[in-house]
């Protein structure tokens, strides 16, 4: 099945097996981590909290980052046993690595995941799974070919209160739902000022950082965390947070793919800053029985329902509002069905639970228990990419689910696949 077929999102919730407690020598799992500056390091630290998981290698193109992270108190006592690489392909040759963690900028996810799977490794890869629709499709195909167990870092799928909110939503007590609104107002995410190009910092292999992206001079406003705001490397808030939030909108509505997409926005708040992706974006997705609205803004926090992020399911009897802090139901004042539910606060974060779920799937050789497998992640990444493509093309788009493409050949040619540079190629699968 290709990306964007008749897949219907769902949730799996499995009890943690007792195998996470007393770990035998045969159940020890060695991990190597690629890209350890941000979420890659956060994932690594959560992984080694799981009993029997050992960090044996790290790889990063920035040696300054490696030095800093290996002095972290969680790994400093064992840092002399951790092998260090600046080329991930060399790390993949290390025989005792069972699992590869990938926390690089988005434009590297596909190649690294595919290469790791081809090397016989299991993989935990950060979201969004790919930086184009073609990359997502290739990653799904690679997993099927090589059989690796692959978890994607959409850890909200392992968060208990999100699952509880979905159970209530699917009870039908809200009545028919005609609109789902997804708000994402991230005040701490602010584009950088425009600055001059410069030499890359000492200890940084900038050519390796660019990888398959076009050759461009080094500029600090595009480097490390701020890669998110440039089309060569990522897709802005839509793919950074969208794959978390749109994921639950689709799960809640048991929806597959939209029929039409309209993305409207721009650099309205900070037109003179350095980003390419919009600081303000509203996208309307048309489904058969409801509309889905994505509404995002950078550098402000006062979003819908006085939250900086949320998913709101608007039903005839009430509105369920869900975010990382908890969920509640705001009753429709004309409703005859009493559905008012005060805020149900979060019971866990989900990040560590996501690692436990992944390691359990490996130990038990049960990929079916993964809370976010490649196909799940590729599906929501597709929907997020649709919004960005409509915005960039400045037109309303129609998606042909049976063909896994838009109805406009010009859009397919321009946006389904990203061109690779510098001798890199995206592998092709039958």
C-alpha distances out from residue 294 to 110, 151, 172, 173, 398, Å: 26, 25, 23, 24, 17
Positive/negative CA dihedral, 79, 77, 360, 252 = negative
For 127-243, strand residue ranges (E) read 150-152, 177-186
How does pLDDT run across 209-238, given as a tens digit for each residue?
999 999 999 999 999 999 999 999 999 999
Amino acid 1: pLDDT: 43
Facing residues of 264 across strands?
282
Query: What is the rounded distance in angstroms from the CA atom of residue 60 to the CA atom of residue 129?
Result: 19
Helical segments of 85-195, H only: 88-91, 109-118, 133-146, 160-169
Point out the least confidently predicted range of 1-5, 198-202, 279-283: 1-5
Per DSSP, 240 falls in state H
Annotated domain spans of the chain: 18-157+351-373, 160-346+383-407
Does residue 73 carry a pLDDT above 80? yes
Tell me how far apart the alpha carbons of residues 302 and 422 are, in angstroms, rounded to a whole number: 42
Q: What are phi and psi of 247, to 5 degrees?
A: -55, -50
Asked whether the predicted pLDDT for residue 6 surpasses 60, the reply is no
pLDDT digits (tens, 9 = 90+) for 168-206: 999 999 999 999 999 999 999 988 999 999 999 999 999
User: Does the pLDDT of residue 7 top 80, yes or no?
Assistant: no
Whether residue 398 is predicted with pLDDT greater than 60 in this model: the reply is yes
Q: What does CATH list as the number for 18-157+351-373? A: 3.40.50.720
Residue 60 in 3-state DSSP? Answer: coil
Beta bridge partners of 203: none
Q: Is 296 in contact with 238 (CB distance < 8 Å)?
A: yes
pLDDT at 72: 87
Per-residue pLDDT at 12:
63
Lowest mean pLDDT among 66-70, 346-350, 354-358, 390-394: 346-350
Q: What is the pLDDT of residues 400-415, one digit of tens each?
A: 999 999 999 999 999 9
What's the pLDDT at 96? 96
The Cα–Cα gap between 65 and 223 comes to 13
The 3-state DSSP class for residue 167 equals helix
Contact yes or no for 153/126 (Cβ under 8 A): yes
Residue 375 pLDDT more than 80? yes
- 127-153 confidence digits (pLDDT tens): 999 999 999 999 999 999 999 999 999
Pick the CATH number of 160-346+383-407 from 3.40.50.1370, 3.30.360.10, 3.40.50.720, 3.90.440.10: 3.30.360.10
Query: Which pLDDT score is estimated for 4?
Result: 52
Q: What is the pLDDT of residues 308-361, one digit of tens each?
A: 999 999 999 999 999 999 999 999 887 777 788 999 999 888 999 999 999 999
DSSP code string of 252-296: HHT----SEEEEEEES-S-TTBS-SS-SEEEEEEE-SS-EEEEEE
Helix (H, G, I), strand (E, B) or coil at 154: coil
> pLDDT-based confidence at 20, cuts 50/70/90?
very low
């Amino acid at each position: 099945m290709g990306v964007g077929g008749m897949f219907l999102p769902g949730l799996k919730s499995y009890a943690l097996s007792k195998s996470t407690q007393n770990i035998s020598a045969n159940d020890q799992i060695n991990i190597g981590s690629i890209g350890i500056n941000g979420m890659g390091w956060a994932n690594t630290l959560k992984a080694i909290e799981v009993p029997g998981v050992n960090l044996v290698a790290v790889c990063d193109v920035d040696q300054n980052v490696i030095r800093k992270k290996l002095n972290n108190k969680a790994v400093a006592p064992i840092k002399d046993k951790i092998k260090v690489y600046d080329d991930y392909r060399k790390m993949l040759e290390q025989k005792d690595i069972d699992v590869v963690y990938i926390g690089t900028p988005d434009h590297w996810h596909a190649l690294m995941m595919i290469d790791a799977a081809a090397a016989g490794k299991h993989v935990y890869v950060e979201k969004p799974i790919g930086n184009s629709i073609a990359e997502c499709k290739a990653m799904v195909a690679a997993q099927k070919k090589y059989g690796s167990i692959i978890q994607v870092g959409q850890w909200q799928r392992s968060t208990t209160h999100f699952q509880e909110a979905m159970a209530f939503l699917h009870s039908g007590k809200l009545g028919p739902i005609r609109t789902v609104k997804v708000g994402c107002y991230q005040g701490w995410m602010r584009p950088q000022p425009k600055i001059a190009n410069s030499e890359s910092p000492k200890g940084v292999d900038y050519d390796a950082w660019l990888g398959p992206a076009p050759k461009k001079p080094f500029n600090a406003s595009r480097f490390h965390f701020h890669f998110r705001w440039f089309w060569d490397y990522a897709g802005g808030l839509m793919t950074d947070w969208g794959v978390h939030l749109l994921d639950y909108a689709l799960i809640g509505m048991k929806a597959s793919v939209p029929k039409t997409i309209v993305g409207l926005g721009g650099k309205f708040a900070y037109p003179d800053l350095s980003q390419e992706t919009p600081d303000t974006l509203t996208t309307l997705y048309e489904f058969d029985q409801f509309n889905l609205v994505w509404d995002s803004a950078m550098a402000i926090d006062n979003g819908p329902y006085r939250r900086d992020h949320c998913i709101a399911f608007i039903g005839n009897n009430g509105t369920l509002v869900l975010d990382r802090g908890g969920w509640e139901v705001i009753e429709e004042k004309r409703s005859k069905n009493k559905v008012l539910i005060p805020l149900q606060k979060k019971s866990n974060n989900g990040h560590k639970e996501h690692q436990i779920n992944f390691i359990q799937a490996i130990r038990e050789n049960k990929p079916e228990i993964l809370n976010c497998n490649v196909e799940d992640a590729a599906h929501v990444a597709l929907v997020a990419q649709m919004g960005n493509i409509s915005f960039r093309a400045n037109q309303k788009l129609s998606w042909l689910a049976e063909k896994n493409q838009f109805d406009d050949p010009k859009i397919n040619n321009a946006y389904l696949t990203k061109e690779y540079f510098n001798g890199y190629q995206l592998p092709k699968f039958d």
